[in-house]
Amino acid sequence: MMFAVLLLSVLCIGNSFALYSMWRAKRRADDLYAQQMKQIQQHTQAFKDLNRRLDTYLSGSMRMGEELYELQKSIAPLPEKILRMEQRDLSSLSFTQAARLVGLGASTEDLKQSCGLSQSEAELLLRMHGKSESP
């Protein structure tokens, strides 16, 4: 009988030890699970932050692309306009070009003939640039 009690005690202690070991293993598994969940939350937050930054960069790039496209549209006709200006005949010289001629010593008559200016416009240009013709 004593043997049975002893055997029963050993079995109870063994079961208690097994239960304690299982409890500790479960507790470690729960701790590990909690750590992993915390890491998952941190990674999820980092992913959301990176996603927001990427959206910001993409929208900025899109705006920049749209602005470049608008600039390209506004600049596209300029080479043709420059070519037309360079190919103008001498009778359509601008006041700026007439002022250059004055600097080279052109007279009122020269300005009237080469630039198509009126007598008063030619005289005004000569006076503005500090040159006057003697009558």
E-assigned strands of the chain?
Answer: none
**Separation of alpha carbons 130 and 127, rounded Å:** 5
Same domain, 14 and 80: yes
Same domain, 30 and 61: yes
Residue 133 lies in a domain: no
Q: What is the pLDDT of residue 88?
A: 63
Residue 135 lies in a domain: no
Instruction: Output DSSP code: residue 92.
Output: G
Residue 112 lies in a domain: yes
Q: What is the pLDDT of residue 72?
A: 93
Query: Which pTM does this prediction carry?
Result: 0.42
Same domain, 26 and 76: yes
Q: What is the pLDDT of residue 54?
A: 96
Structure-token pair, residue 47: 């992913």
Reference 89, options 114, 117, 53; nearest CA is: 114
Q: What is the pLDDT of residue 100?
A: 84
Same domain, 101 and 83: no
Same domain, 77 and 102: no
Instruction: Give residue 55's domain range.
Output: 1-87
Q: What is the chain's Cα-based Rg?
A: 47
In sequence order, the 6+-apart residues with CB closer than 8 A to the CB of 104 are none
The tally of domains found in the chain comes to 2
Q: What single-letter amino acid sits at 72?
A: Q
Q: What is the pLDDT of residue 24?
A: 92
Same domain, 56 and 68: yes
Same domain, 106 and 43: no
**Separation of alpha carbons 74 and 22, rounded Å:** 77
What are the average pLDDT values for consecutive 10-residue runs of the chain, which has 135 residues?
72 78 92 96 97 96 95 89 66 69 88 84 84 57
